[in-house]
Every structure is written in C-alpha cells, then in structure tokens.
Amino acid sequence: MDDSDGDDSSRDDADWRNTLIRVYLFVCRRWSDGLCAVAQRQSNNSDPDFTDEEVLTIYLFGLIRKRETIKEIHEYAEDHFPEWFPDLPSYWWVCPAFKPVERRVCPADRSGHC
C-alpha cells in the first residue's frame, strides 16, 4: 500500500465521522425545534440510556449508508459504532423504537421492514 492509499482511507474515515456528527447535530437542532413532537418515543423513562436523538441519528445515517431495513441499520451501527453509541440496545429492543420514525420517514410500501 502506498501513501496515497493511506490518505484515501483516512479521508474516508474522516468523511463518515463528519457525516455522522453533522447528522447528530442536525437531529438535535430539529429535535429542540419541535421534531420531538412527532418522533419522540412514548415512554415513562424521562432519562433513557439511549436517547431518541441517537435513535433518529442512527436511523438517518443508516439510510445515508444505503441500509434499507431497521435490522440492517441496527447491525451496521452495532458493528461500526460501539464506541460512539455504547448504550445501543439489542435489536429486539431498538426495533420498536425505530418504528415510529420509519413510519414518518419511509413511504408506506417500505414500512414494516423491522
């Protein structure tokens, strides 16, 4: 491998990291501007370990990375972001958390891919 390959790899690594950060910041800004009214999970836990903003960030980033189902998105996040989202719950727990987001974001013919 020559130096240019290493530069490309570093650049790709920085690109996805920057994209993930931008998506998270976008979600947080929109969340406080009212997105929470339509995308908030209904729970009696006011201080979850894995926040609604993280759910939405992972979901949107998964779509950006061409993952088509909640299961694919969860597997991608689990494999690639354990240090970024250490409280990512198991797939069976997180699937219901993604459902309201999926219904709002995906066309009717794509919802239900959990």
In this structure, the number of other CB atoms found within 10 A of the CB of residue 86 comes to 9
Q: What is the DSSP letter of 49?
A: S
Q: Where are the alpha helices (DSSP H) in the chain?
A: 3-30, 36-39, 52-64, 70-80, 91-105
Residues in the chain: 114
CA distances from 108 to 69, 102, 103, 113 (A): 14, 9, 7, 11
* Every domain of the chain and the residues it spans: 3-36+52-105
The tens place of each residue's pLDDT in the chain, 114 residues long, gives: 444 445 556 677 679 889 999 999 988 888 877 776 666 665 655 566 778 888 889 988 999 999 988 889 989 999 998 999 888 887 666 666 666 666 665 555 554 454
Asked if residue 72 lies in contact with residue 80, where contact means CB atoms within 8 angstroms, the answer is: no
Angle at 85 between CA 81 and CA 89, to 5 degrees: 105
Question: How far apart (Å, rounded) are the C-alpha atoms in residues 39 and 16?
Answer: 24
